[in-house]
Amino acid sequence: MKNLLIWILFVLVGCTAQKEDIPKHIKGTENLVVYSGDMPPTASVDLVREATFEAPDKYSLKWHDDTVSFYSWLESIEVDTSGRVFIADNDATKIHVFDPAGNYLKSLGRKGSGPGEFQSITNTQIGSSSLYVFDFRGFRTTVYSLDSLKVIESNSVKSSVNQDEFDEINGWLRWRLLIRNNGTYLAGFRKQRMDARAGSPNSNLDKDRPKKYYFMDKESNITSDEVFEVKKSREILTTRVEDRHLSNFRPLPFLGRTVIRISDDNHIYTTWTDDFLIKVYGPDGNYQRAIYYPFQKRPIKREELLGTVDKDDWNRGLVEHAELPKTWPAIHSIVVDDRNRLWVSTIIPEDGMREWRVMENTGELIAKFRWPKSRSIKTVKNGYAYVCVTDEEMGQQRIVKYRIQMN
């Protein structure tokens, strides 16, 4: 009876929301499930601080904007079934290991190009008995046993063996690898690199550069048809100031970008952050649905942005002179927890705050709460949220564990 009532509510909410204004570029989305922006949550969330995870003083935790992890010391946080916490520190090219109470146990890896060494730590994933670590610069995957915390495999990732069998990406560049919980990959390919040479016939900063994603096994064989395509990975602004051509070489928090998340059971979630639209793919790569919530986006004001950019920042001239978007993105970040629920951080008008929404992976709203943007939820496992807390005055970050109370 309870399931029937939930299904009826789901249908009624969807039908009501269909009457709301849906942007033209979203209306034609396949298997689109639209929810009302006024949909009430069914639960409340309290986060209770329990433990702090701090690396030894010899490891410097530098402050960076955490919009994109490539520019942060913190690459990822993994938690195993015993509650041990593995924090990938890209600056130190190490993985810090803590017990559930926050006591430092040891570090894994070091700078280098041999087994158990990293040029970078690009992303990590925990499987049933292993910790997988992918190094994009070294193009190597290292596998640690969760029992012994010792290296059991360390393999270079070869160029795609059978890429020429796929006409649509034959000759394309392999651009990105995301590791799955069985050591296989979600591999992204792009036709051309970014070309920032102003005036060159190949200049493409103002153009879409599509990326196509496929599954790839440990031996670098593509094992699926195209799973999905994204038009671009991030939005780029360009302008000319006197004799200089300016563009943003890294993502900026007020610009749209593509976010891809893989759950513990290998579901895939993608979004272009401009809209509250999340596409869901099954572990086999089959498209399942798209979840959409109408969202009132925060207007962009140039004078406000200038107040956040230092005078000697490379992007200062860009923010001063480029044609800016009219609004901020809707979505800031997405976390998928170990129950396949989505924790979505949204950008709201209130300064210094984010609004988080907790949803089923079918889109139904469970809870909604506001949280300082200096506390960025990175991982949700075993009933706990692991949060990167930034002290902007001191220029430091630390990881804090919060117990989730959901009523």
Q: Would you say 64 and 74 are in contact if contact means Cβ atoms under 8 Å apart?
A: no
Query: What are the tens digits of pLDDT across the range 11-53?
Result: 444 444 444 579 999 999 999 999 998 889 999 999 999 999 9
> What per-residue confidence (pLDDT) applies to 17?
46
Out of 52-66, 87-101, 112-126, 310-324, pick the least confident: 52-66
- Measure Cα distances from 62 to 59, 89, 90, 395 in Å: 9, 10, 11, 7
> What per-residue confidence (pLDDT) applies to 291?
98
> Which strands make up the sheet holding 104-108, listed edge to edge?
74-79, 85-89, 94-98, 104-108
The β-bridge partners of 46 are 405
Query: Mean pLDDT throughout 369-376?
Result: 94
Query: What are the tens digits of pLDDT across the range 232-276?
Result: 888 888 888 887 888 887 788 999 999 999 999 999 999 999 999
Residue 391 confidence (pLDDT) above 80 = no
Task: Give the torsion sign (CA, 369, 372, 373, 377).
Answer: negative
Stated length of the chain: 407
> What per-residue confidence (pLDDT) applies to 66?
43
SS3 state of residue 68: coil
Q: Which residues of 367-377 are buried (b: 16+ CB within 10 A; e: fewer)?
A: bbeebebbebb
Burial of residue 58 (CB within 10 Å: 0-12, 13-18, 19+) is exposed
Query: What are the tens digits of pLDDT across the range 194-227?
Result: 666 666 666 656 677 889 999 999 999 999 999 9
> What per-residue confidence (pLDDT) applies to 204?
59
- What's the chain's average pLDDT? 87
> What per-residue confidence (pLDDT) applies to 238?
82
> With pLDDT > 70 as the criterion, what percentage of the chain qualifies?
86
> With pLDDT > 90 as the criterion, what percentage of the chain qualifies?
62
Q: Would you say 405 and 49 are in contact if contact means Cβ atoms under 8 Å apart?
A: no
Residue 316 confidence (pLDDT) above 70 = yes
Query: Mean pLDDT throughout 105-127?
Result: 91
Q: Nearest CA to 74 among 57, 58, 92, 56?
A: 92
> What per-residue confidence (pLDDT) applies to 199?
62
Query: What are the tens digits of pLDDT across the range 145-160?
Result: 999 999 999 989 988 9
* Model confidence band, residue 333 (pLDDT cutoffs 50, 70, 90): very high
d(CA 280, CA 142): 28
Q: Would you say 316 and 59 are in contact if contact means Cβ atoms under 8 Å apart?
A: no
Residue 180 confidence (pLDDT) above 50 = yes
> What per-residue confidence (pLDDT) applies to 197?
62
